[in-house]
Amino acid sequence: MSLSIPNAPNSGLFKPGYQNYDAEDGAVIRNIEACRTISQTVATSLGPYGRNKIVINHLQKMILTSDAATILRELEVVHPAAKLVVMASQQQEAEMGDATNLVIVLAGELLKKAEELIRMGLKTSDIVVGYEKAQIEVLKVLEDLEIDKVEDIRSLPSLSKALRTVIAAKQTGNEAILADMVAEAVLAVLPKNPYNFNVDNIRVVKIMGGSLEQSRVVKGMVFGRQPEGTIKKATKAKVGVFSCPLDIAQTETKGTVLLKNAQEMLDFTKGEEAQVENVVKELHDSGMRVVVAGSSVGELALHYLNRAGILVIKVMSKFELRRLCRVVGATPLARLGAPMPEEMGSIDVVETLEIGGDRVTVFRQENETTRTATIVLRGATQNHLDDIERAVDDGVNVVKAITRDARLVPGAGAAEMGLIERISAYADRTPGLPQYAIRKYAEAFEVVPRLLAESAGLDATEVLARLYTAHSKAAGPEKQGEEDKVCTLGVDIENEDGSGTLDAEAEGILDLMVSKSWAVKLATEAARTVLSVDQIIVARQAGGPKPPGPNPNWDEDD
């Protein structure tokens, strides 16, 4: 009896329930479409005039932002190819903290150009080789586009200049205030070797009300609550940090106490009171005047601490407790009692301030540098405050990148236009099929100035024509013998002179070279990975049938 071969491809090869998408079905094209969809979602949020998105996540929390990393984190993308692009963006967030949108937009555009090449008849392998060559060339060309660098990281104007463009992309109009505040906070905590700068040393406290102009930097830590007892201020004080409750130890089992008369009842709590009083007396005698509790504070303990003139504050977050230990130089204690001298920390000022109706406690060191600086942000709504916090977070992360490489390239799309000219010239010098891919790779960079112009309401075609003309003149053959001058003409989103273009260098619109080169690397890697896939095999989900969803009519009586 002959072996029966099923007609359907791969049937009988995998378990039932598997889905198989082959290259013949256009798996690559479908993957590209999925990636372009995710790219188009965040593309309109690129740049200072980028539109905000409202994302309501699975917990029904509303997030209003133009930050691509936040949008994608809340969207929970499940398509395997689109996930690759999102992962590249997350890697950019982890490495540089900025230019996450650029990664996705550029990867989407590279894939769009690749689709055009596939339809022309090029094999994906030729495109991947071309993209690889073009990426190597882009990283070399970026070096030539350097126009400035942060000479002295400890100079506030110099650092603020580099941060301004990064913050303007999230908070246009407020970049001057925020850049100066972030620079001030960074300089307060910058160690002797700037390479060891830790972004975690800059905290943000958001207090509703007022306006952004009322925000300020505090050298030290700010807690959004007031001390527990009646003592609200201490200066030049020793600090003890306890991670255990400041209370009487409870017995593990329940016990019954039989009281015979009123005297026994009066004496019943005497022992407890004496014990707590002794502990507080020990703390007072050791010179401690500030107690930080990482857990509950009992009524009795609070009474004796107030009598001893000791300030008590609860810090419920173990992370905040750890940071506070770093600020004051204390060791968190898991036992109640007088600490050793080396376990205690010291603080110059602990005070309670009122900011916009909220009472906050400030731990402040008066010396020049401090371990932690806090930016107290003010704003009208919680969503606005969250968005400002993201801008500050980007600014602080960029400082970390500046400590690695302080070189700057022109912003406002000028660097991308420079890359188009130089990579197109490189394509003309490259033999074979990869030259088509290299030329398309160069064209993909056009997406940045185009999106900037479109989001500002300008005629993108007209603005791009002006930019192409200016940049081709700067990189033309007659200029080859001279000192290569970088053309810094970019998109003017304000459109002040009506031409839609401006000199990015003169306007101080500067991007960090290292974050741009990382964005190019990650976007190219993501695009090449998606193009290298020719088949997707989806296994059947494990387990039985899906559990029933929530009943939509749960609150109705019948």
- Residue 129 confidence (pLDDT): 84
Return d(Cα 162, Cα 149) in angstroms, integer. Answer: 8
Residue among 440, 520, 403, 473 nearest 143 (CA): 520
Q: Are residues 329 and 437 in the same domain?
A: no
Please give the full DSSP string across 507-518, using - where no structure is assigned: HT-EEEHHHHHH
- Residue 481 confidence (pLDDT): 40
Q: What is the pLDDT of residues 373-413, one digit of tens each?
A: 888 888 888 888 888 888 888 888 888 888 877 788 887 87
Domain of residue 256, residue span: 217-379
Q: Are residues 375 and 229 in the same domain?
A: yes
Q: What is the mean pLDDT of residues 193-216?
A: 80
- Residue 13 confidence (pLDDT): 63
Q: Are residues 304 and 228 in the same domain?
A: yes
Q: Are residues 513 and 414 in the same domain?
A: yes
Which residue has tokens 């406690």?
361
Residue 153 lies inside a defined structural domain of this protein: no
Residue 320 lies inside a defined structural domain of this protein: yes
Return d(Cα 296, Cα 276) in angstroms, integer. Answer: 15
Q: How many domains does the chain have?
A: 2
Residue among 175, 164, 142, 190 nearest 514 (CA): 142
Return d(Cα 433, Cα 351) in angstroms, integer. Answer: 70
Residue among 134, 100, 86, 99 nearest 114 (CA): 134
Amino acid identity at 168 = A
Amino acid identity at 554 = W
Return d(Cα 44, Cα 50) in angstroms, integer. Answer: 6
Residue 393 lies inside a defined structural domain of this protein: no
- Residue 556 confidence (pLDDT): 64
Residue among 383, 413, 415 nearest 514 (CA): 415
What is the CATH number for 456? 1.10.560.10
> Which of the four pLDDT bands, split at 50, 70 and 90, describes residue 429?
confident
Residue 355 lies inside a defined structural domain of this protein: yes
Instruction: Please compute, for residue 502, the number of CA atoms within 13 A of its CA located in the half-sphere on the CB side.
Output: 21
What is the CATH number for 274? 3.50.7.10
Which residue has tokens 């409870």?
250
Q: Are residues 31 and 120 in the same domain?
A: yes
Amino acid identity at 306 = N
More confident residue, 43 or 336: 43
> Which of the four pLDDT bands, split at 50, 70 and 90, describes residue 482?
very low
Return d(Cα 298, Cα 417) in angstroms, integer. Answer: 66
Range from 44-58, 152-166, 243-257, 347-361 carrying the lowest mean pLDDT: 243-257
Q: Are residues 374 and 428 in the same domain?
A: no
Please give the full DSSP string across 71-96, using - where no structure is assigned: HHHHH----HHHHHHHHHHHHHHHHT
Instruction: Please compute, for residue 143, the number of CA atoms within 13 A of its CA located in the half-sphere on the CB side.
Output: 5
Written as six digits, the tokens of 65 are: 């932002």
Q: What is the pLDDT of residues 61-106, one digit of tens each?
A: 888 877 777 888 887 777 778 888 888 888 888 887 777 888 888 8
Q: Are residues 375 and 416 in the same domain?
A: no
pLDDT at 233 over 80: no
Query: What is the rounded average pLDDT for all residues in the chain?
Result: 77
With a CB cutoff of 8 Å and minimum separation 6, the contacts of 113 are: 440, 441, 443, 444
- Residue 478 confidence (pLDDT): 47
Q: Are residues 440 and 327 in the same domain?
A: no
- Residue 23 confidence (pLDDT): 56
**Residue 131: other Cβ atoms inside 10 A:** 24
Return d(Cα 201, Cα 221) in angstroms, integer. Answer: 10
Residue 47 lies inside a defined structural domain of this protein: yes
> Which of the four pLDDT bands, split at 50, 70 and 90, describes residue 480?
very low
Residue 115 sits at the vertex; the CA angle it makes with 50 and 532, to the nearest 5 degrees, is 105
Q: Are residues 323 and 461 in the same domain?
A: no
- Burial of residue 302, with CB atoms counted within 10 A of its CB: 0-12 exposed, 13-18 middle, 19 or more buried: buried
Residue 81 lies inside a defined structural domain of this protein: yes
Q: Are residues 140 and 229 in the same domain?
A: no
Q: Are residues 371 and 415 in the same domain?
A: no
Q: What is the mean pLDDT of residues 461-470?
A: 83
Q: Kindly give the pairing relationship between strand 311-314 and strand 510-512.
A: unpaired
Residue 517 lies inside a defined structural domain of this protein: yes
Q: What is the pLDDT of residues 484-521, one digit of tens each?
A: 567 777 777 777 666 777 777 777 778 888 888 888 88
**Residue 132: other Cβ atoms inside 10 A:** 17
Residue 161 lies inside a defined structural domain of this protein: no
Written as six digits, the tokens of 337 are: 């009692």
> Strand ranges (DSSP E) for 99-163?
148-149
With a CB cutoff of 8 Å and minimum separation 6, the contacts of 17 are: 539, 540
Return d(Cα 224, Cα 359) in angstroms, integer. Answer: 7
Q: Are residues 268 and 351 in the same domain?
A: yes
Amino acid identity at 353 = L
